Structure 1
Amino acid sequence: MIAVNYSTLRNNLKNYCDEATDNQSTIIVTRKNEKNVVIMSLENYNQLMKTMRNTEYLAKLDRSMDQIKKGQGKHRELIEDPADE
Structure 2
Amino acid sequence: MEAVAYSNFRANLKSYMKKVNDDSDVIIVTNKKPEENVVVLSKIDYDNLIENNYILNNQYLMEKIQRADKQFNAGKGIIRDLIEVDDD
Alignment of 1:1-85 (within 5 A): 1-34=1-34, 35-58=36-59
**CA–CA distance in 2 between the matches of 1:52 and 1:17?**
24
Secondary structure of 2:33's counterpart equals helix
Q: Flag structure 2 segments of 5+ consecutive residues without an equivalent.
A: 64-88
* Distance in structure 2 (CA, Å) of the matches to 1:61 and 1:16: 36
2: distance between equivalents of 1:24 and 1:16?
Answer: 11
Cα distance in structure 2, aligned partners of 1:53 and 1:14? 31
SS of 2:3's partner is strand
When residues 61 and 45 of structure 1 are mapped into structure 2, their CA distance, relative to the original with a 3 A threshold, is closer
The runs of at least 4 aligned residues of structure 1 exceeding 2 Å deviation read 58-62
RMSD, matched Cα: 1.9
Instruction: Letter of the 1:12 partner, please give it.
Output: N
Count of matched residue pairs: 62
